[in-house]
Amino acid sequence: MAKRLDIKDLNLYYNKFHAVRDVTLQVHARSVTAFIGPSGCGKSTVLRALNRMHEVVPGSRVEGSVLLDGENVYAPGVDPVQVRRTIGMVFQRANPFPTMSIRDNVVAGLKLAGVKDKKRLEEVTERSLRGANLWEEVKDRLNKPGGGLSGGQQQRLCIARAIAVQPDVLLMDEPCSALDPISTLAIEDLIAELKKDYTIVIVTHNMQQAARVSDQTAFFNLPAVGEPGQLVEIGETGKIFSNPSQKATEDYISGRFG
Amino acid sequence: MRTDTADIERPASAPAFQHLGLGRRIKNHTATVLFGLAFVVAVIPLLWVLFTLVRRGLAPMLSTEWWTHSFYGLLPNDPGGGIYHALVGTLEQTLVCAVIAVPLGVTVGIFLIEYGRNSKLARTTTFMVDILSGLPSIVAGLFIYALWITTFGFDRSGFAVSLSLVLLMLPVVVRVTETMLTIVPDELREASYALGVPKWKTILKVVLPTSLSGIITGIILGLARIMGETAPLLILVGYSRAINFNLFDGPMASLPLTVYTARKTSTEAGEYRMWGAALTLVLLIMLINLLATLLSKLFSVKTR
């Protein structure tokens, strides 16, 4: 369960475009780390590099290392499929599988990995949906398509799907940006619950959200147009928001940016 | 030109919504009439064809003999007879064509979208498929004649027809698969990868089911299209008035070939056979289109 991530000298490219330069940071186990920063600063790119989703984009390239409890996910011979099984991900837009029922969506990861034991799938469905605070709302219509749920419910369904495979780390890429305040609150409460068992990294544009849910915050910035994004500073969330050590961070947080 | 001050000073007496001017009303009516006319002009030939077909071909449809017998042993002037032999031929030839073309075409489509994206091989393949999709059916027939019959030394047969139909159907299947796979959002693929599902399984269990409805519809419509192809039939197989189940041996009838052959018999019986075969072919294609709609509904993505 919950593992630590050490990111060392991470450089990310799309073809010849250098997207992110020299990121080094630690993500602690059983805590929430928030990535904040302006659009295009590379925070989502860094997040996607953590479970080797960056390389899904044609022409992308990674340099540096990401250690999961000391084990480099970019070591030669490491299967990206295995990495993604250990480091799960929730996306900006809820993306339940449209051809599958709510139940099948939740256990998709297990089913597609070849698990057939009905009793186990049943248990995982209930446990994951309870874990995502969705069980009470959908328990009577598990066989209905996942696409019929509301936006907030769909996003919680995606979280249930991600935790159903019991990853060590959960990555969230702006999980609330398309949701209304009530659904956002539901998901923030859920994040607070989940961090008891999971290591969570969340990218967010909402600074209040970062302040509310995270234990440590990393601020990314673009030094100038056309240059790669960089990690400006990382620290305890309270400190970053009250007394950041960099001027750029203070400007961004106080809204005096750009 | 700025008229802000003038606007403010003007009394607000003029109505906000003006009545339609005469010029605009005339334009509107002219356009309505023109569009209506275009519709009528487009629909008339369609209805005419259907009307003629049904009027001339209805008699055979109503007899049981038409559906259960062949023309075997009938002289040019003999009434009656049935289309069974040609139905068998058409169905067998298209079915075998589909068995070859569908797996091949779908695989190529999957390669182009899921694996090949922008590789040199994929670009070349797309280019070839484009060329192939413009291939005249008579050329497809000639090519198979040169390859299968002249070079390999096989006899003319129903199977040779199937092969030429494969050439015509393959680009349709590839194109349909490509289009339908492109519509599947990348987010679904990423969602699957993020769960630790390998790429091949993502394609098989997430991408294909999502696009299945469209692929099936496209394939069936393609099938309906090649059913009426006539040119390759004229070159690759002889006409038989008897029932022949064997694709690999001897002459074999099919619906388009029957229409063509019966036209050369200028008797009342010949007319009966020709229009009967023609209407049968249209009915068959209609039935298949209906099936496509049905299957598309069955496999479509549901939200409730």
Summarize pLDDT for B90-140 with one digit per residue, the tens. 999 999 999 999 999 999 999 999 998 778 999 999 999 999 999 999 999
Q: What is the DSSP letter of B14?
A: S
Beta strand ranges found along chain A (DSSP E): 5-14, 17-27, 32-36, 60-68, 71-72, 87-90, 169-173, 199-203, 216-221, 229-236
Q: What is the CATH number of the domain that holds B119?
A: 1.10.3720.10
User: The tokens 């001017």 sit on which residue?
Assistant: B21
3-class DSSP state of A133: coil
Residue A61 in any domain: the answer is yes
3-class DSSP state of B97: helix
| Whole-complex ipTM | 0.89
Whether B113 and B232 share a structural domain: yes
Whether B206 and A99 lie within 8 Å, measured CB to CB? yes
What is the separation of C-alpha A128 from the centre of its chain, rounded to a whole number of angstroms?
17
How long, in residues, is chain B?
A: 304
- Whether B183 and chain A come into contact, CB under 8 Å, resolves to no
Distance (Å, whole) CA A187 – CA A132: 8
Percent of chain B with pLDDT strictly greater than 90: 69
Percent helix, percent strand, percent coil in chain B, to nearest 5:
75, 0, 25
* Residue B109 and residue B207 in contact, taking contact as beta carbons nearer than 8 Å: no
Strand order in the sheet with A199-203: A71-72, A60-68, A5-14, A17-27, A229-236, A216-221, A32-36, A199-203, A169-173, A87-90
User: Can you give the pLDDT at residue B285?
Assistant: 93
Whether A98 and B201 lie within 8 Å, measured CB to CB? no
Whether B137 and B244 share a structural domain: yes
Cross-chain CB nearest to A112 (options B117, B205, B212) = B205
Residue B69 in any domain: the answer is no
Residue B7 in any domain: the answer is no
Whether B27 and B121 share a structural domain: no
Whether B196 and A89 lie within 8 Å, measured CB to CB? no
Whether B195 and A161 lie within 8 Å, measured CB to CB? yes
pLDDT above 90 (res B17):
no
For residue A98, the chain B residues in CB contact (below 8 A) are: 188, 210, 301, 303
User: The tokens 């299947």 sit on which residue?
Assistant: B173
User: Can you give the pLDDT at residue A162?
Assistant: 92
Cross-chain CB nearest to B195 (options A58, A82, A165) = A165
- Whether B187 and chain A come into contact, CB under 8 Å, resolves to yes
Q: Which residue of A has its CA nearest to B202?
A: A112
For residue B300, the chain A residues in CB contact (below 8 A) are: none
What residues contact residue A33 under an 8 Å CB cut-off, 6+ apart?
Answer: A27, A200, A201, A202, A214, A215, A216, A217, A218
Q: Which of residues 46-75 of A touch B (CB under 8 A)?
A: 51, 53, 56, 58
Whether B22 and B158 share a structural domain: no
Nearest partner of A191 among A123, A131, A252, A101, judged by Cα:
A131
Whether B194 and A82 lie within 8 Å, measured CB to CB? no
Whether B191 and B293 share a structural domain: yes
Q: Which of residues 27-66 of B touch A (CB under 8 A)?
A: none
User: Can you give the pLDDT at residue B13?
Assistant: 67
- Whether B189 and chain A come into contact, CB under 8 Å, resolves to yes
Question: Rounded to two decimals, what is the model's pTM?
Answer: 0.84
Whether B52 and B144 share a structural domain: no
**Counted domains in chain A:** 1
User: Can you give the pLDDT at residue B177?
Assistant: 95
Q: Which residue of B has its CA nearest to A172?
A: B194
Whether B141 and B30 share a structural domain: no
Give pLDDT < 70 ranges for chain A.
1, 257-258
Residue B72 in any domain: the answer is no
According to DSSP, the β-strands at A216-221 and A32-36 are parallel
Whether A85 and B196 lie within 8 Å, measured CB to CB? yes
Judged by average pLDDT, the poorest of A26-40, A235-249, B10-24, B251-265 is B10-24
**Which residue range forms the structural domain that includes residue B205?**
84-298
Token pair belonging to B146: 């040169």
Whether B180 and B52 share a structural domain: no
Whether B44 and B100 share a structural domain: no
Whether A112 and B197 lie within 8 Å, measured CB to CB? yes
Q: How distant, in Å, are the alpha carbons of A96, A148, A178, A191, B125 from that of A151?
A: 10, 9, 8, 17, 40
pLDDT above 80 (res B4):
no
Greater model confidence, B265 or B188: B188
Q: What is the CATH number of the domain that holds A57?
A: 3.40.50.300
Q: Which residue of A has its CA nearest to B118?
A: A58
Residue A58 in any domain: the answer is yes
Q: Looking at the complex, report in whole angstroms how far the Cα of residue B194 sits from the nearest Cα belonging to chain A.
A: 5
Q: Which of residues 193-222 of B touch A (CB under 8 A)?
A: 193-198, 201-202, 205-206, 209-210, 212
Residue A120 in any domain: the answer is no
- Whether A135 and chain B come into contact, CB under 8 Å, resolves to no
Q: Looking at the complex, report in whole angstroms how far the Cα of residue A198 sits from the nearest Cα belonging to chain B.
A: 16
Whether B174 and B261 share a structural domain: yes
Cross-chain CB nearest to A91 (options B117, B191, B303) = B191
User: Can you give the pLDDT at residue A258?
Assistant: 46
pLDDT mean across residues, chain B? 90
pLDDT in tens, A167-187: 999 999 999 888 888 888 888
User: Can you give the pLDDT at residue B12?
Assistant: 63
**Counted domains in chain B:** 2
Whether B31 and B144 share a structural domain: no
Cross-chain CB nearest to A58 (options B117, B185, B191) = B117
Whether B152 and B273 share a structural domain: yes
**Which residue range forms the structural domain that includes residue A10?**
5-92+168-253
